[in-house]
Structure 1
Amino acid sequence: SFAALRAANRALGESCRDLTGPLADHMDTGSVVRDMDAIRAGLGEKRISYYGVSYGTAIGQQYAERYPHRVRAMTLDSNMDHSL
């Protein structure tokens, strides 16, 4: 059943790429983190406060790792080991 799930996930990913084209290359956590920082800069803020839930936890973790000096406060509802 794992092989079937893997095949279904691969087909879904290929379908998304076919339907979105090059946009798919910019829909990952790293891109979201860079976009968040661009919004922070656009608003003229030196630091942000952040509350992350579910997938937002991974976004918050990566933001804090990449831009630790730009975080005022951060609350994450769980801890994800995204290094795996």
Structure 2
Amino acid sequence: ARRAGLAIVPSGGRTGLSAGAVAARGELVLVLDRLNGIEDFSPVDRTVRCGAGVITAELQAFAEDHGLFYPVDFASA
């Protein structure tokens, strides 16, 4: 991409809700939807490490299963 002078647009869960993965000017879309696992959870710190392809609804369900609440984040939905 660098040699070709292309910008890279990362694409996570590809739900299309935030229109963030649109290649409007011929950019290269880097599809990350297969990075959809929840990798680590710390109940003490209340932190989750997950892949870029995890969609918000899945993360919310995971949080609820652990007695937590993950609010809607429109910037990443």
Q: Which has the larger strand fraction? A: 2
Q: What TM-score does the superposition give when structure 2 sets the normalisation length?
A: 0.31
Q: Which structure's residues are more often helix, by fraction?
A: 1
TM-score, normalization: structure 1?
Answer: 0.29
Structure ID, larger Rg: 1
